[in-house]
Structure 1
Amino acid sequence: MTTSITPRSLPTRPNPPRFGKTAKSILKRRFSVVDLFEAMATPHAVDRYLELVNPMVTVRDLRAKITRVDRQTKDTVTLELRPTRQWKGFEAGQFVQIGVVVDGVRHTRCFSPANSVHRRDGRIELTIKAHADGFVSRYLRENAEPGLVVELSQAAGVFKLPEQRPDKVVLLSGGSGITPVLSMLRTLVDEGHEGDITFLHYCDTVNDVPHADALREIARENKNVTLLIASTLPGGGGDLQGFFGTEHVDIAAPWLAEAQTFLCGPPPMMNAIRKYYDERDLGDRLHTEEFQVASTVIDDIEEATGTINFSSSSVEKENAGSSLLEEAEAAGLSPEFGCRMGICFTCTAVKKSGCTKSLLTGEINDTSDEPIQLCVSRAVGDVEIDI
Structure 2
Amino acid sequence: MVRLRVLSRLASAFTTPFSPQDFLRLVDPLSSARQLRALVTAVEPETADSVTIRFRPGKGWNPHEAGQWARIGVEIDGVRHWRSYSLSTGAGQDPAITVTAMGTVSTALVRNTKVGDVLFLAPPEGDFVLPEHPRPLLMLTAGSGLTPVMSMIRTLVPRRPDADVVLVHSSPCPEEALFAEELAELADQFPGFRLVQWFTGERGRRLDLTTTSDLDAACPDWRDRAAYACGPADFLDAAEALWDREEGELRVERFSPVLLPGAGGEGGRVTFERSDQEVEADGSTTLLEAGEAAGVVMPSGCRMGICRSCLVPLRAGQVRDLRTGEVHGEPGELVQTCISAAAGPVNLDI
- State TM-score, norm by structure 2: 0.87
Quick check: 1:355 aligned with 2:318?
yes
Question: Could you tell me which of 268, 290, 294 is aligned with 1:327?
Answer: 290
Question: Could you tell me which of 37, 41, 55 is aligned with 1:63?
Answer: 37
The C-alpha deviation readout for 1:335-382, integer Å capped at 9, x for no partner, is 233443323433221113432221223333334322222111112233
Where does residue 346 of structure 1 map in the other structure? 309
Unaligned runs of 5+ in 2: none
Q: Is the 8 A contact 1:197 1:225 kept in 2?
A: yes
CA distance in 1, matches of 2:323, 2:16: 40
The CA deviation at 1:249 is 1.6
Quick check: 1:272 aligned with 2:238?
yes
Question: Could you tell me which of 311, 321, 329 is aligned with 1:366?
Answer: 329
CA distance in 1, matches of 2:137, 2:251: 11
Q: Is the 8 A contact 1:46 1:59 kept in 2?
A: no
CA distance in 1, matches of 2:3, 2:333: 33
CA distance in 2, matches of 1:316, 1:143: 31
CA distance in 1, matches of 2:297, 2:341: 17
Deviates more, 1:175-184 or 1:189-198: 189-198
Q: Is the 8 A contact 2:263 2:323 kept in 1?
A: no
Where does residue 97 of structure 2 map in the other structure? 126
Quick check: 1:290 aligned with 2:254?
yes
Q: 1:35 to 1:267 in 2, by over 3 A?
A: farther
Superposition pairs of residues 1-387 of structure 1, within 5 angstroms: 33=5, 36=8, 40=12, 47-119=21-93, 123-131=94-102, 134-162=103-131, 164-192=132-160, 194-234=162-202, 242-245=206-209, 246-282=212-248, 285-293=249-257, 299=263, 302-305=265-268, 307-321=269-283, 322-387=285-350
CA distance in 2, matches of 1:98, 1:361: 28
Deviates more, 1:245-254 or 1:272-281: 245-254
Q: Is the 8 A contact 1:47 1:61 kept in 2?
A: no
Q: Is the 8 A contact 2:266 2:282 kept in 1?
A: no
Q: CA RMSD in A?
A: 2.9
CA distance in 1, matches of 2:66, 2:173: 26
The CA deviation at 1:312 is 2.4
CA distance in 2, matches of 1:374, 1:249: 38
Q: 1:359 to 1:295 in 2, by over 3 A?
A: closer
Letter in 2 for 1:220: D
Count, aligned residues: 345
CA distance in 2, matches of 1:234, 1:257: 27
CA distance in 2, matches of 1:359, 1:262: 26
Percent of pairs with identical residues: 34
Q: Is the 8 A contact 2:21 2:32 kept in 1?
A: yes
CA distance in 1, matches of 2:6, 2:239: 51
- State TM-score, norm by structure 1: 0.79
The CA deviation at 1:170 is 0.8
The C-alpha deviation readout for 1:71-94, integer Å capped at 9, x for no partner, is 121110111211113211111111
The C-alpha deviation readout for 1:93-136, integer Å capped at 9, x for no partner, is 111122122221112221111111032xxx112211111xx112
Q: 1:297 to 1:330 in 2, by over 3 A?
A: farther
The CA deviation at 1:32 is 5.5
The C-alpha deviation readout for 1:142-182, integer Å capped at 9, x for no partner, is 122221121121101222223x2341111111111111001
The CA deviation at 1:140 is 1.9
Q: Is the 8 A contact 2:66 2:155 kept in 1?
A: yes
